A = this chain, B = another copy of it.
Amino acid sequence: MKIRLKVISLIVLVQLLLVSFAAAESRKDLNFPDILDYKTLKCDLHIHTVFSDGLVWPTVRVEEAWRDGLDVISITDHIEYHPHEQDIPTKHNRPYEIAAGMAKEKNILLIKGAEITRDTPPGHFNAIFLTDMNALDTNDFLDAVKIANEQGAFVFWNHPGWKPEAKGWLDIHTKLYENKWIQGIEAVNGDTYYEDAHRWAVEKNLTIVGNSDIHDPMSEGISSNVDHRPVTLVFAKAKSPEALKEALLEGRTTVWHGKQLIGREKYLDAIFKASVKAAKPYYRYKDTVWFEVKNTLCIDIQLEKTGGAGPEKLTLPANSTTLLKTKVKDDAEEVKLSYTVKNFLIAPDKGLAIELIIQLQ
């Protein structure tokens, strides 16, 4: 049995070798502010591994999440679809079990999840906060969704509209909705924004989420026209599974997709106010004042004028200070700049309305 002993000692050696390749343990944080006394959790709730049709080992998803600045992920391998089955026998709970240890060490909150993957319609649905993924492996679609709900899951409709021949919101979706078996919907999946899904979220008060649905290694799988994975910002009372679920059920989310934020007016407004500050003018010459506007958010803010003062279009770049000037009346106490934030969407094609007030005295 000499060989066996040798092999055991090899485990240590090979791990030593791995260390020299280990990803750096430092990351740039994503600077989305905490708002309204909530903690802003950065989440990706739709992720695959080799245990369904993904191409990486579960621990890689934790490494990637840490590096990308996230707080929370859920690995949601398909219940029904296993192209690697010949090599990896199906075990629905294994991805979570394998990733859990590294998640603790990396301070990533790992949420149990699965994707219920039936033909479209009805389409694909993610269920997270599950207790046992195996129970969802049923013949009947509605049974699977019902069982997920009985386990206390938060269930959302994935990429509604990704299938060209998909037929929109059907009776089956109404049934799920009326039974309160779905609570959320992906307005964003991968590099695609689903306008219909966004509209349904607004109309039906569903929680808006946006996720990567990544199958490749993350750095291969993000298309160059978005530049980062989609992230669901969840405004939670704490960084815990319970607080996350409460926030998701209450709809306290915003999605970061490409150069846009997509969410309810209340939260986008709070993010804007926490991120953009206009200072008192530093210089006045005759009826013109010069002043600084700081944007501490990690994304550019694109403004279009709706009021009288200020430039027609204005970009406040991420983490930057912008110089502006405007004319003022002799006795004015303040100047008000009225704008729409073109890339903060409170509904399809509808930007957030804001005002920048410049105190003059």
User: CB within 8 Å of B: which residues of A?
Assistant: 3, 6-7, 9-11, 13-14, 16-18, 20-21, 23-29, 50-51, 53-57, 59-60, 63-64, 66-67, 78, 80-81, 83-84, 87-89, 91, 94, 98, 104-107, 117-120, 139, 159, 162-163, 190-192, 213-224, 282-283, 285, 290, 292, 294, 315-317, 319-325
Contact status A26-B216, CB under 8 Å: no
Which B residues are in CB contact (< 8 Å) with A191?
Answer: 20-21
Q: How far is the CB of A59 from chain B (nearest CB, A)?
A: 7
Provide the residues of chain B in CB contact with A9, threshold 8 Å: 119
Residues of B within 8 A of A325 (CB): 105
Which residues of chain B are within 8 angstroms of A321 by Cβ–Cβ distance? 26-27, 29
12 residue pairs from A and B, CB less than 8 Å apart: A21-B214, A21-B223, A28-B319, A55-B60, A56-B217, A60-B220, A64-B220, A66-B323, A67-B220, A87-B89, A104-B285, A219-B220
Q: How many copies does the complex hold?
A: 4
Given contacts A17-B162, A120-B13, whether A324 and B25 have CB atoms under 8 Å apart is yes
- Least CB distance from A83 to B in Å reads 7
Nearest chain B CB to A185 CB, angstrom units: 17
Q: Is the CB of A10 within 8 A of B80?
A: yes
Shortest A123–chain B CB gap in Å is 10
* 9 further A-B pairs in the complex, CB-CB below 8 A; given A18-B53, A26-B315: A14-B53, A26-B316, A50-B57, A51-B87, A56-B60, A87-B91, A88-B88, A105-B290, A217-B218
Most buried by B among A11, A56, A98: A56
Residues from chain B with Cβ under 8 Å of A216 in the complex: 21, 23, 60, 63
Closest to A158 in B: B17
Ranked nearest first, the 10 interchain pairs of A and B with the lowest CB-CB distance are A217-B217, A219-B219, A6-B119, A55-B57, A26-B322, A25-B323, A26-B320, A21-B221, A107-B282, A26-B317
Q: How far is the CA of A307 from the CA of B53 in the complex (A)?
A: 36
Is A320 a contact of B29 with CB atoms below 8 Å?
A: yes
